[in-house]
Chain A
Amino acid sequence: MRYLLTIVADGMPEPEKLAVLQRECPRWVHEMDGRGVRLLGRELDPPEATTTVRVRHGETLVTDGPFAETKEFMAGLDIIECANLDDAIEVAASHPVSWYTAIEVRPFAGDLHLGEAAAAFARGDACGEPFLLVTWMGGTPATPVHDQAVADEGDGWRRDLDRRGLHVLGDALGRPDTATTVRVRDGSTLLADGPFVQGEDFIASIDVVRCQDRQEAVELAASHPVARHHAIEVRPFCNE
């Protein structure tokens, strides 16, 4: 099964923690790549660099900053392949970020396809600039919606982008209650049932697109069916 690991942060780590993270994260990546568990992963720019996109009455509304003003935020992501949730939890618990903040483990809803564009993105040599589009659903939608219908439209949107060579990877995620949040404290693995963001709104899918610039990424987000009912975050990746 393919799982999304959401790397959760709550601000800039203190110097001693940062030192551990800078030492241990590459070790984790090296080990998981070696075992064939980690398919790809990237760090994101801080949440201040986020643009939130909504479409209402045919008009695209763009705001600076993240959709959810939470203390904890997505600081990066990894996609892993594991036989079952137990293995995925072990992989997450061995990631140093879980020792300080948390890692959310969530299955993808379908079979996440990773093609040549994803491989290039994983190597860091994708042409154009990659952006992460995070779709938020739940809460109070602008218009009554049927989640499944939106998800189906999302598949159509993906196929369209794929044809235009703009889609790198992405798929719908399992419902929020399929998520497990992993924290390691005093050497014990603590599990919480549910996503790291507790509340009515939840992350429903993630996609990576490649664009000329942020403006194009915002336009792609606005063309996503969820933008009409909920909101899409456009997040740049960290330059490595």
Chain B
Amino acid sequence: MTVKPDVRQAVDAAFRNEWGRVVATLIHRTGDWDLAEECAQEAFAEALRRWPSDGVPHRPGAWLTTVARNRAIDRLRRSERGLQLHEQIGREAMLDDITGGSTPVARAREIEDDRLRLLFTCCHPALSLECRVALTLRSVAGLSTAEIARAFLVPEATMAKRLTRSKAKITAAGIPFRVPPAHVLPERIDGVLAVLYLTFNEGYSATSGAELIRTRLCDEAIRLARALHELMADEPEVTGALALMLLHHSRRHARVGPDGELVTLEEQDRDRWDCAEIEEGQGLVEEALHESRVGPYQLQAAIAACHAGAAAIHDTDWAEIAGLYALLEDQCPSPVVRLNRAVAVAMGGDIDAGLAMVEALTSDPRLERYYLLEATRADLLRRSGALGRAQAAYARAIPLAPTDVERRFLERRLAEVRATGADESGPRPS
């Protein structure tokens, strides 16, 4: 039987919106991660079978949760896992509770809380960062093991092992299924945001590889950040992180040219920026800054908002951006932040001051193999007219470039500078 496109769409939409909720609810009630995932999987398969004839239910989430819960009860009854009878009855009672007992509003709140618990548990700092990312994509976002493996360019068996190991640790080591208490909440929120932002960047930065799965990573990171923002609207860093992702994402169509080449911010066709995302991002930045608890994500989002708000590169408020980078450097001192600050200073008109900041960074061992240091130096030298030194810097940057796209971009620049330099090789009027 072929599934009608609109039903297929309804199932896909339900999958995106409800997977994490169904899994979270079942984990909370049974403590069994594998059981939760298997039963959620079966509930979605059941939807594909029944929705074409029965119609899409009024509340797809509730329908899916009920089916998954019934499957879980069946499995527990048939269980050969050697569960004690009282454990079994306890779990069944917990599962029964999903659909009965409290008011619809209280139930909806409980389901949202479960989803938040699931996210914090997947992002627990006692798991390695790669495990946190994988588990979040699997359990909260519902990506398959194969998809996650493809996104991170590892064999599927490796990813499956990583997921099994993560779930085993959560159970065996007693990682609690909860939103952490207030005294550790800020650092744990940072931990969740780090996972989401890493996921976003993994999808956004790489311009080669499996295109579809990378788009999915960006979409899922934004979707989860949006969910977190809905549930923790008074946490300005969450708002800032969502804004930052949206503002970067708004430029996705303009940053890669027709042949896959990298297009710099300066050369991007700003008509191809996504206005709706920019507007939403800018609104969120204002909302976050209103809380007067500034943090790194908010500052980076404010910088991205400055760029997004400029109709042309010449309209960019570089002084504001340099100021924001200075604040960011105060909060999290890093040579990369300083490098970006140097660019803003140079672009604001003081090329010499910017160049001096870049030159000072060349002795920092942390940037020893960081291609953007030499690339930035080359660019500023090019702008200042020191073409010979610019060529040398491009030549140093090219072998350090991490992807073909970035390497081709630098080679193109080098060729341009050589051509200009050749034109001006004669005696120059002073």
Contacts and interface: CB of A to CB of B under 8 A. Distances in A.
Contacts of A105: 173
B180 A174 contact: no
Interface string B163-194: 00100110011111000100010000000000
A175 interface: yes
Most chain A beta-carbon neighbours within 10 Å: one of B125, B126, B184: B126
A108 to B, nearest CB: 10
SS class, residues of chain A in contact with chain B: mixed
Interface string A76-107: 00000011111011000000000000000111
Interface residues of B, number: 16
A88 B174 CA distance: 9
Interface string A171-187: 00011011110000000
A172 B172 CA distance: 13
A178 B180 contact: no
A86 B170 CA distance: 11
A194 B168 CA distance: 13
Contact of A193 (B127, B168, B176, B184): B127
A191 interface: yes
Contact of A85 (B126, B128, B165, B168): B126
A114 interface: no
A171 B175 CA distance: 21
Contact of B175 (A85, A106, A177): A85
Nearest to A179: B173
A1 interface: yes
Contacts of B168: 175, 177-178
Contacts of A194: 128
Nearest to B176: A84
Contacts of A191: 125-126
Contact of A174 (B128, B131, B172, B184): B172
22 contacts: A1-B174, A83-B174, A83-B176, A84-B174, A84-B176, A85-B124, A85-B175, A88-B174, A89-B126, A105-B173, A107-B173, A109-B172, A174-B173, A175-B168, A178-B169, A178-B173, A180-B126, A191-B125, A191-B126, A193-B126, A193-B127, A193-B131
Given A85-B124, A105-B173, A178-B173, 10 more contacts: A82-B174, A84-B174, A86-B184, A89-B126, A107-B174, A109-B172, A175-B168, A177-B169, A178-B169, A191-B125
Interface of A: 1, 82-86, 88-89, 105-107, 109, 174-175, 177-180, 191, 193-194
Closest CB pairs A-B (n = 4): A193-B128, A84-B176, A180-B126, A178-B172
